[in-house]
């Protein structure tokens, strides 16, 4: 595969990044099979692997560490912190106290002495950005982390972080990992232009929109198990946004068929086309899924087809607001939207931060 420079880090990465959320108890619990999928991806030319401490509650990092044991120096390795890794207020978030512990636990599970890209998995409204960046600066200085980035940060917080880094002489966030697909084009409006202005590398996740863009969710959707049960708001057809998604997938499938493509080829070709995007995360659970994703990954869409996609899903559109995967504190807490501060009791942020079901990415 061709290699691209990841923002201004100087690190060269493949245009596909292997996302490993589905390795472990959340997806494929067979360790040896999961290791085999990772090795096959590396053999195919992928040199960029992304995980997170919370994936399978540390299990994904352990599987990645086992797979990379003999090939560590060939790979750009990324992981994340933020979501709860245990009970209580001090095993989650973006505080110095948690970061300094979380990184050591990730290093141990990954079996490595450094993390090439350490990412903040979500914003933390109760922790000052300077606190987070100061802790990350110390990790870079200690050689435990090479570069730092964010995941699913709104554009205004990306800008604020750049300002804090410049004013305080702290390490800069060098990447943003944003949800982006044919059904969720919200990043095009502000996130991508902001990343371009500040020289951030962009990785994107959920290019198949949690499986919607494989065409599997036509007709009734079983909400009783699996991803559909865990992330009901993204699948429940009682919600207008999901009905819009289902209808739009039908139109996109026809566009793909008319162009001689599969729906998955259309989906991956679209995401890779955006000039802001450095690398697209793919998240196979099995070798068969990996092979299908690799076969679709080189698709190039011409201008006419891209215009027809724009007619179907206008630029900047997100069909279901739940697919944004992040709700700002100002919207989550009613008291912050009412002058007298009256609102339903809101749990501490560390409790709200904690997913009762696995986070989407």
Catalytic residue list: 55
**Number of residues in the chain:** 361
Q: Is 26 helix (H, G, I), strand (E, B) or coil?
A: coil
Q: Are 291 and 44 in contact (CB under 8 A)?
A: no
- Please give the Cα distance from 235 to 214 (Å, whole number): 14
Residue 266 vs residues 115, 185, 254, 336: alpha-carbon distances, Å: 33, 14, 11, 41
Residues 6+ apart with CB under 8 A from 122: 82, 83, 151, 152, 153, 326, 353
Query: Would you say 118 and 79 are in contact if contact means Cβ atoms under 8 Å apart?
Result: yes
Compute how many other C-beta atoms are within 10 angstroms of the C-beta atom of residue 30. Answer: 15
From CA 216, how far away is CA 194, in angstroms rounded? Answer: 34
SS3 label, residue 78: strand
- H helix intervals, the chain: 31-43, 59-68, 96-110, 129-141, 155-168, 191-197, 226-230, 240-258, 263-273, 287-296, 303-312, 329-332, 349-353
CA angle 211, 293, 35 (to 5 degrees): 100
Q: Burial of 356 by CB count in 10 Å (0-12 exposed, 13-18 middle, 19+ buried)?
A: exposed
Query: Partners of 118 in the beta sheet?
Result: 79, 148
* Three-class secondary structure of residue 280 per DSSP: strand
- Taking the C-alpha atoms of residue 350 and residue 361, their distance in angstroms, rounded to an integer, is 18
Distance of CA 232 to the CA centre of its chain: 19
């Amino acid at each position: 595969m061709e290699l691209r420079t990841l923002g201004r880090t100087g690190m060269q990465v493949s245009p596909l990044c292997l996302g490993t959320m589905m390795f472990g108890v959340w997806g494929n619990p067979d360790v040896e099979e999961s290791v085999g999928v990772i090795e096959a991806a590396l053999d195919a030319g992928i040199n960029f692997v992304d995980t997170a401490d919370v994936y399978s509650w540390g299990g994904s990092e352990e599987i990645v560490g086992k797979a990379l044991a003999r090939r560590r120096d060939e790979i750009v390795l990324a992981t994340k912190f933020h979501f709860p890794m245990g009970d209580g207020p001090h095993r989650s978030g973006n505080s110095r106290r948690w970061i300094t512990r979380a990184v050591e636990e990730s290093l141990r599970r990954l079996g490595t002495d450094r993390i090439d890209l350490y990412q903040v998995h979500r914003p933390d409204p109760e922790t000052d950005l300077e606190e987070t960046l100061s802790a990350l600066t110390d990790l870079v200085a200690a050689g435990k982390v090479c570069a730092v980035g964010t995941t699913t940060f709104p554009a205004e917080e990306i800008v604020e972080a750049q300002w804090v880094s410049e004013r305080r002489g702290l390490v800069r966030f060098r990447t943003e990992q944003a949800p982006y697909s044919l059904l969720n084009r919200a990043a095009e409006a502000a996130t991508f232009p902001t990343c371009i202005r500040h020289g951030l590398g962009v990785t994107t996740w959920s290019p198949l929109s949690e499986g919607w863009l494989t065409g599997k969710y036509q007709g009734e959707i079983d909400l009783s198990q699996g991803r559909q049960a865990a992330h009901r708001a993204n699948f429940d057809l009682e919600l207008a946004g999901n009905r819009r998604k289902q209808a739009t997938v039908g139109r996109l499938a026809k566009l793909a068929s008319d162009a001689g493509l599969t729906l998955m080829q259309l989906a991956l070709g679209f995401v890779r086309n955006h000039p802001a995007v450095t690398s697209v995360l793919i998240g196979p659970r099995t070798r068969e899924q990996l092979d299908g994703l690799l076969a679709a990954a080189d698709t190039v869409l011409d201008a006419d087809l891209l215009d027809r996609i724009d007619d179907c899903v206008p630029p900047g559109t997100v069909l279901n607001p739940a697919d944004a995967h992040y709700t700002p504190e100002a919207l989550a807490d009613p008291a912050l939207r009412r002058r007298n501060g009256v609102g339903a009791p809101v749990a501490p942020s560390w409790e709200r931060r904690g997913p009762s079901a696995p986070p989407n990415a």
